[in-house]
Amino acid sequence: MGTVFSALQSNIDYLKNLWGDHTDVVFREFHLAGDRGKKAVLIFVDGLVDKKILNDNVLTPLMLYREEKITDQVSFIADNILTVNSVQEETDLAKLVEGVMSGAAYILIDGCSVGLELDIRDWSARSVGEPGTEITIRGPQEGFVETLKVNLSLLRRKIRHPDLKIEMVKVGEYTQTDIAIVYIESICDKALIEEVRRRISSIKVDAILDSGYVEQYIEDAPHSIFSTVGNTERPDKVSAKLLEGRVAIFVDGSPVVLTVPLLLSELFQSVEDYYSRPFYASFIRLLRYMAFFFSIYGPALYIVVSSFHQELLPVQLFAVILATEGTVPFSSSVSIFYANLLNELLREAGLRLPKSVGQAIGIVGGIVLGDAAISTGIVSAPVVIVMAVTMICTFIVNPLLDVSSLLRLAFILISSMLGAFGLMVASVVLLFHLVSLRSFGVPYLSPIAPVSRGVLKDTFVRMFLWKQNKRPAVFQVKNVVREKKHQKPLPPQHLQ
């Protein structure tokens, strides 16, 4: 586009021709104060700027300034007249157009080939509240919102060190979405930062509307059902990951922040594990592992033992299953398959409908349909019990909900055709796939494969915080030491 013209009318004609009939782009022409005040124009998008600041701190001083004549030097106007906290000079027309579209206001003066950018953005935004997908009982109750500046300020409140670095880039030819790459310079590996920059800079698309778009363009294994990029709505969780040497990616317009690298073991962790003492937190974490395994293997194992290997069941239990299965028209494989599809339909309906209706659909639908299926003899009671427990276990590990749904369906089909042998083969294939995955160069199954003894203190169980004195070595961090030695609580002394 070139640089700003010195003739004001040339700038106005060019920009109006560029934007055409954009009724929301305002050109407010006026004269600077003084006997022979020069003509100027204020350009902004209606609805994206604070009009009170615009009137009180921009137009009023420029049009009513009386102490002396206003010269045509933009630096004099910026330093002495405008009472706006952020004023910058701009000579590039392309950046001026981009700034106006993103909510900035610009002042152009006749005879000056430099414009003034005023950061007086103001648009409707959701207030900071509790994140809907990561609810905790103990700990901070604030989550990210759709405004990038608010999200970065929430992070700054957690990490107040000058080594917290924020790099801004724009992605999307038409959306020009702001993306922030955030890391702690004295901790994070330089090679990881360079890799994140490279992957984001290689995104050449029309639009970036959410962080999910970015995730799909930078992940290591796009054909895997397992995500290799973490995501969260919690500032405390992002802060903890940054302090371990990772990189966070903020996308303007999205309350979900991406973090890399990602380990599979992290998906079984909760921020609340670190806000309470380690005994119950470790117990709950082990329950999460067991719940995930049952959510993908439970229905398949029921098919295996009820249809192929009845000798594995106690005689009394087998007699109960045989009595109930003999009264239904379908085999256990068919019953499990359709019951799984029905559960997925109920879950999807409960999520997409309004909250008041969705909860009723999930509860009433499950109870009524389950009871009706048993009473009419379409499905046996053991099948309903297995699927009910399976769905409860599925919701316990929410980050792996989509993975467990797909794996469960695949294992049901394989075990229905090949029994225990097919289930074992499928499990081995799954294990090989997990071992081969990488997240920005870090093995996905770390610290289990390869084994890292230090990180195992926070994998299956959560050890005392004062025992986790080093950062995970798998991230190749610059500063390994997390805390000084001998942080164990001091023994009590006699109080006078």
Neighbours of 264 (CB within 10 A): 22
Q: Residue 211, SS3? A: helix
Q: What is the pTM of this model?
A: 0.87
Dihedral sign from CA coordinates of 401, 403, 406, 410? negative
Neighbours of 117 (CB within 10 A): 20
Mean of pLDDT over the chain: 86
Q: Residue 90, SS3? A: strand
Provide the residue ranges of all domains of the chain, joining segments of one domain with +.
8-118, 148-262, 286-436
The residue with tokens 């990561």 is: 134
What's the number of CA atoms in the CB half-sphere (13 Å) around residue 53?
16
Q: Rg of the chain's alpha carbons, rounded to an integer?
A: 30
Neighbours of 80 (CB within 10 A): 15
Asked if the model's pLDDT at residue 71 lies above 60, the reply is no
Average pLDDT over residues 381-410: 90
Asked if the model's pLDDT at residue 307 lies above 90, the reply is no
Residues 182 and 155: beta-carbon distance below 8 Å:
yes
- Pick the more confident residue, 132 or 117: 117
Asked if the model's pLDDT at residue 443 lies above 60, the reply is yes
Strands 257-260 and 230-232, how do they pair? antiparallel
Spatial CA neighbour of 198 closest among 181, 186, 174:
181
Question: What kind and span of H or E run contains 344?
Answer: helix 332-352
Q: Establish whether the linkage from the previous residue to 255 is cis, with ω within 30° of 0.
A: no
Average pLDDT over residues 307-319: 80
Strands 247-251 and 177-184, how do they pair? antiparallel
- Pick the more confident residue, 496 or 347: 347
Average pLDDT over residues 379-396: 87
Asked if the model's pLDDT at residue 326 lies above 80, the reply is no
Asked if the model's pLDDT at residue 41 lies above 80, the reply is yes
Sheet of 230-232: strand order equals 164-171, 177-184, 247-251, 257-260, 230-232
Which amino acid is residue 61, in one-letter code? P
Structure confidence at residue 426 (pLDDT): 95
Report d(CA 415, CA 304) in Å as an integer. 6
Structure confidence at residue 19 (pLDDT): 82
Q: Establish whether the linkage from the previous residue to 329 is cis, with ω within 30° of 0.
A: no
Asked if the model's pLDDT at residue 396 lies above 60, the reply is yes
Average pLDDT over residues 431-443: 94
Residues 37 and 110: beta-carbon distance below 8 Å:
no
Spatial CA neighbour of 201 closest among 227, 229, 179:
179
- Pick the more confident residue, 453 or 485: 485
Structure confidence at residue 89 (pLDDT): 87
Q: Residue 482, SS3? A: coil
- Pick the more confident residue, 71 or 172: 172
Asked if the model's pLDDT at residue 123 lies above 90, the reply is no
Q: Extract the tokens encoding 219.
A: 């992940």
Report d(CA 101, CA 40) in Å as an integer. 20
- Give the burial class of 259: count Cβ atoms within 10 A of its Cβ; 0-12 exposed, 13-18 middle, 19 or more buried: buried
DSSP code per residue over 359-428: HHHHHHHHHHHHHHHHHTTSS-HHHHHHHHHHHHHHHHSGGGHHHHHHHHHHHHHHHHHHHHHHHHHHHH
- Pick the more confident residue, 457 or 65: 457
Structure confidence at residue 365 (pLDDT): 66
Task: Name the maximum alpha-carbon separation found in the chain.
Answer: 105
Asked if the model's pLDDT at residue 232 lies above 70, the reply is yes
Residues 234 and 132: beta-carbon distance below 8 Å:
no
DSSP code per residue over 145-199: -S-HHHHHHHHHHH---TTEEEEEEEE-TTT-EEEEEEEETTTS-HHHHHHHHHH
